[in-house]
Amino acid sequence: MPSPRKPVLQTWCTLVALGDQEGRGNHTGYPAGWKGEVLQGNQLNDLVDGLEANHLLQGYSYILTGYIGSASFLNAVMKTVQRLREASPGVSFLCDPVMGDHGKLYVPKELVQIYREQSSDEAESFRSGASRAHPGAAEVVPLASVLTPNRFEAELLTDRPIASKGDAAEACRELHERGPHTVLITSMSFEGDGATPSSYLLMMASRKEAGGAVRQWTLQVPRIDKNFTGTGDLTAALFLAWMHRKPSVEELPEVLEKVGATLQTVLGETTRLGRSEIALIQSQDALRAPTVEYHAQELSPE
């Protein structure tokens, strides 16, 4: 099944030209795995060459990436980011660093290192468009404007456990120092939050402002006791769509609330239909105008 990113963003009338590393028969989250082709970097490079030849690299506002299954494709994505930024200065890169969940990797271990390791000097050189002997290698987190890991992925990126809201807040701050101005950590639950971890899910949105101040909000929603596929893709697409409409730091808690409300409605409808693939078509109203029931809480700055 295709990723929900495209239909979500197309609902908001946003042009989508480059998507996930498709070639799979189903989402990687299925218990029996997946079959299909792991696309390689040369295939993406050919696609982008075609866009460039037809003068179609100009005018982009956002780059959104998701599941990537090979190092060569990940490196090609980073080269594509550079090419798009040269053609469309100011384009924002939202990276959903899909690596795994619940302690299980979906990707080869070498990709974790590529996502995680990069010197700030190299990243700044790449941001500014300076020439590189080997552009595209190990440049992911420092190049991202927005990062949307789940709890497990945030632990991989920071090489630290996240066992509390405070740990999550510190992980966001560490990721800010490496490049992204906005971080959304999804799918968290902890002991000692006044509810059992199995009864709720927590999201945290964090924004580093131009002056260096960091503001952070959490949103707690009831957990729906069912396994779904595609929720990470849906969350990243919703977060991008709502930030496009509400870009300021003062509006970030509302963005978080809209994302949470939409997820609750879509997953509730999916459960009602007895499905695991999320019910997007049946939830169009919630995609456009969700009803907010749960509200974000700002963390006290340290």
Residue 193 known to be catalytic: no
Element holding 162 (H helix, E strand): none
Q: How far apart are CA 237 and CA 253, in angstroms?
A: 17
Contact 122, 143 (CB under 8 A): no
Please identify which of the residues 20, 96, 101, 233 carries the catalytic annotation: 233
Torsion of CA 277, 279, 280, 282, to 10 degrees: 160
Please give the distance of CA 97 from its chain centroid, rounded to a whole number: 6
Q: Is 288 exposed, middle or buried (0-12, 13-18, 19+ CB in 10 A)?
A: exposed
Contact 205, 250 (CB under 8 A): no
Query: Nearest-CA neighbor of 66 among 123, 170, 150, 10?
Result: 150
Residues in the chain: 302
Half-sphere exposure at residue 243, Cβ-oriented, CA atoms within 13 angstroms: 26
**Which residues contact residue 81 at a Cβ distance below 8 angstroms, ignoring those fewer than 6 apart?**
63, 93, 143
Q: Which residues have a catalytic role annotated?
A: 233
